[in-house]
Amino acid sequence: MAVRSALYHVMSAAALKAARGLKRDFGEVEQLQVSVKGPGDFVSTADLKAEKVLREELAKARPHFGFVMEESGETKGRDGRHRWIVDPLDGTTNFLHGIPHFAISIGLEEDGEIVAGLIYHPIADEIYWAEKGRGAYLNDRRLRVSARRNLEESLIGTGIPFRGHGDHPRYLTALAAVMRATSGVRRIGVASLDLAYVAAGRFDGFWEFGLKPWDMAAGIVLIREAGGTVAGLSGGNVMDNGDIIAANPAIYRPLRALLASPIAGGD
């Protein structure tokens, strides 16, 4: 049985409360008011309502902590050491098209390090959570990354750049290389859940270019606590550059080598 800390209860209570509104709105998705932030990048009233609930609940429990939130940006905290990194609705495009695959992601950073995270998939009622040094869990079940050792047997998750975003030729070069070497590639449109699936052993690895901190924060600690490896594809801090690779320890190096040419721009 997983031993749930006070921090877990803070994150899960906030996520569950925000999810109630998301599930109501998902049931009436055709009635949502939707504005366009940019090419292929939508924000709905559901995003904004969920973010407001998460901010209120997390601030109530930890009033001195700062925030980095997808819609409202960064708010400095009074303690200067901690900040919540939050995506209130990861998978907005899925949500707006009636596809029941989206998530709430909450990460906690302490002195520049991600020390806790929670990813909630409301439709499946799956809570993925982890704290540094305490392990990773799906609801009550302890998580471990997969034990597959060969790329040709591995299933790899990815995120595809959409219209107006990313380097499409670079991505297609990477995709072709991974397709040739593995048993399959999956794109489900929710980066936080892709990372959770690596932690749970559902995916053997994952890569994507150009993610934001709120897409990755919770998933990073989940994978590390589940025994996996997660790092920046292009070097440096993955939270800064957003080019991420995650995998079980056996396939991490061969997957990274496979992606090395696309990372360098195809040279």
180-215 residue pLDDT tens? 999 999 999 999 999 999 999 999 999 999 999 999
63 alpha carbon, distance to own chain's centre: 24
Residue 112: what pLDDT? 94
Residue 211: what pLDDT? 94
Contacts of 69 (CB under 8 A, 6+ apart): 51, 54, 55, 75, 84, 86, 87, 88, 214
Q: How many residues does the chain have?
A: 267
Cα 92 from Cα 201, distance rounded (Å) = 25
Cα 182 from Cα 151, distance rounded (Å) = 5
Match domain 6-142 to its CATH number in 2.60.40.10, 3.30.540.10, 3.40.50.300, 3.30.465.10.
3.30.540.10
Cα 127 from Cα 218, distance rounded (Å) = 12
H or E element at residue 21: helix 6-26
Query: Tokens standing for 173?
Result: 């070069």
The domains spanning 6-142 and 151-263 adopt the same CATH topology: no
Contacts of 51 (CB under 8 A, 6+ apart): 18, 69, 70, 71, 72, 86, 88, 89
Instruction: List residues bridging with 87 in a β-sheet.
Output: 105
Query: Tokens standing for 33?
Result: 């008011």
Per-residue confidence of the chain (267 residues) as pLDDT tens digits?
A: 678 999 999 999 999 999 999 999 998 886 777 776 665 556 788 999 999 999 999 999 999 999 999 888 899 999 999 999 999 999 999 999 899 999 999 999 999 999 999 999 999 999 999 999 999 999 999 999 999 999 999 999 999 887 656 667 888 999 999 999 999 999 999 999 999 999 999 999 999 999 999 999 999 999 999 999 999 987 778 888 889 999 999 999 999 999 987 665 544
Whole-model pTM over 0.85: yes
Residue tagged 């999810």 (tokens): 19
Domain ranges across the chain:
6-142, 151-263
Q: Which CATH architecture has domain 151-263?
A: 3-Layer(aba) Sandwich (3.40)
Cα 215 from Cα 145, distance rounded (Å) = 19
Residues 116/13, Cβ–Cβ less than 8 Å: no
- CA end-to-end span of the chain, whole Å? 50
Cα 11 from Cα 223, distance rounded (Å) = 18
